[in-house]
């Protein structure tokens, strides 16, 4: 793949040399990409079982969650966010967090991070077998106040003890920043504010910072400005994008991020998880649609799209809902 890219960049690549492609989604021989150097590989962080299900109204039985994660484990996805160790009072969907962690069949080449909102959650997570956790901070003061009743800086301080415990236990921590391209309460969010929070999380010891367009209002324009600001503070290799498709902008935003050197993308199988701030509107971008685009660009993900679609079909049947993935909708009807 690298050899092909060098030939493309030197203009000596000819279609005849191209790799064989089996389906429409793999027609980018040699990764020709509008003159931008795109990554050869992208790591997909599958957040369906946690972020996706957390925002679904229907409570999903534990066996169903476990089966979903096990199916996803077979697709080649390198990271599957399994559950969240928040209090069941706040997020009833995640009440079976311990059973899920203990029930899933963990593949050695797959990571199963879990959300840990505080030290208590962290301890419970480790006890249940978690070997990677995630914490979060908002780029908007108002969002932080409304969501967890404290300022952004206060919320990060609360995570200090989680970071300390994680360091002692040798558990890697991923950091999430929400509202990076807009806030349901504040409106515009300054790129510098996002950079500030991302920098704090990185300095605290998070190995990767996932930048979330929580209400999906971002466009390639605002994505570019935000990433420029953040990448001045945190190495691009430690950044990920978590785009919501509420305004249909997710894939265009992800493409923009890839063009700026990002090579980690969060997504949710079948586009699980609506937007809590816009009733009836969609939320997470569908993993199937992201994979389709990446493969079409000649970017490796390690993911088997058919197996992924099977997992999506399974969870949609269980939830008795239609998929939010356009690739799944199109493929099933042909």
Residues that bind a copy of itself (CB under 8 A): 21, 24-25, 27-29, 31-36, 181-182, 187-188, 216-222, 224-225, 228, 245-249, 251-252, 254-256, 259-260, 275, 277-282, 286, 289, 292-293, 295-298, 325-327, 329-330, 333-334
Determine the Cα–Cα distance for residues 79 and 137; give it in Å rounded to an integer: 21
Tokens in use for 53? 């299900």
Shortest distance, CB of residue 236 to a copy of itself, whole angstroms?
13
Query: How many residues does this entry show for the chain?
Result: 334
Return the C-alpha torsion angle 278, 148, 126, 213, nearest 10. Answer: 40
Tokens 């998929």 locate to 323
Least Cβ distance, residue 168 to a copy of itself (angstroms): 41
275 is catalytic: yes
Instruction: Determine the 3-state secondary structure of 175 from DSSP.
Output: strand
The answer to whether the Cα torsion of 53, 176, 300, 109 is positive or negative is negative
Choice between 29 and 193, CB closer to a copy of itself: 29
Cβ at position 240, least distance to a copy of itself in Å: 17
Q: At closest approach, how far in Å is the CB of 327 from a copy of itself?
A: 5
Nearest CB to a copy of itself, comparing residues 132 and 288: 288
- Give 129 or 296: the residue with its C-beta nearer to a copy of itself: 296
Nearer Cβ to a copy of itself (137/182):
182
- Write the CB contacts of 225 (distance below 8 Å, at least 6 apart in sequence): 191
258-294 per-residue burial string, b: 16 or more CB within 10 A, e: under 16: bbbbbbbbbbbbbbbbbbebbeeebbbbbbbbbbbbb
Residues 274, 245 contacting (CB under 8 angstroms): no
Q: Are 268 and 229 in contact (CB under 8 A)?
A: no
83 or 249: whose CB is closer to a copy of itself? 249
Query: What is the CA 302 to chain-centroid distance, rounded?
Result: 16
Could you tell me the smallest distance in angstroms from the CB atom of residue 199 to a copy of itself? 21
β-partners of residue 282 are 274
**Of 155 and 325, which CB lies nearer to a copy of itself in the complex structure?**
325
Please list, in sequence order, all residues whose beta carbon lies within 8 angstroms of the beta carbon of residue 190, skipping any fewer than 6 positions away: none
* Catalytic pick among 183, 206, 243, 275: 275
Residue 218's contacts (CB-CB under 8 Å, 6 or more residues apart) are: 180, 181, 182, 226, 243, 249, 253
For 87-132, list the strands marked E by DSSP.
114-115
Catalytic residues: 275
């Amino acid at each position: 793949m690298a050899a092909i890219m060098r030939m493309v960049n030197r203009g000596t690549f000819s279609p005849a040399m191209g790799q064989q492609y089996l389906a429409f989604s793999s027609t980018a021989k040699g990764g020709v990409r509008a003159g931008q150097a795109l990554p050869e590989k992208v790591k997909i962080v599958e957040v369906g079982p946690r972020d996706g299900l957390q925002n679904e109204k229907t409570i999903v039985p534990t066996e169903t969650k476990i089966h979903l994660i096990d199916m996803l484990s077979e697709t080649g996805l390198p990271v599957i966010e399994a559950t969240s160790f928040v209090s069941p009072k706040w997020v009833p969907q995640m009440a079976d967090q311990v059973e899920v962690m203990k029930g899933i069949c963990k593949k050695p080449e797959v990571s199963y991070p879990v959300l840990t909102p505080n030290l208590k959650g962290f301890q419970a997570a480790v006890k249940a077998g978690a070997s990677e956790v995630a914490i979060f901070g908002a780029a908007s003061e108002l969002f932080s106040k409304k969501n967890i009743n404290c300022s952004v800086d206060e919320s990060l301080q609360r995570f200090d003890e989680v970071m300390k415990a994680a360091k002692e236990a040798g558990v890697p921590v991923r950091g999430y920043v929400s509202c990076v391209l807009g806030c349901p309460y504040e409106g515009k969010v300054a790129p510098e504010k996002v950079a500030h929070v991302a920098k704090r999380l990185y300095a605290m010891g998070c190995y990767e910072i996932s930048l979330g367009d929580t209400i999906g209002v971002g466009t390639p324009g605002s994505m570019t400005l935000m990433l420029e600001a953040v990448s001045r503070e945190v190495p691009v290799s430690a950044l990920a994008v978590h785009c919501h498709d509420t305004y249909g902008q997710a894939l265009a935003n992800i493409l923009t991020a890839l063009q700026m050197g990002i090579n980690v993308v969060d997504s949710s199988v079948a586009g699980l998880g609506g937007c809590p701030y816009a009733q009836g509107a969609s939320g997470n971008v569908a993993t199937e649609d992201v994979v389709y685009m990446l493969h079409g660009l000649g970017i490796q993900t390690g993911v088997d799209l058919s197996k992924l679609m099977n997992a999506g079909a399974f969870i949609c049947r269980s939830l008795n809902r239609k998929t939010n993935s356009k690739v799944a909708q199109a493929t099933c009807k042909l």
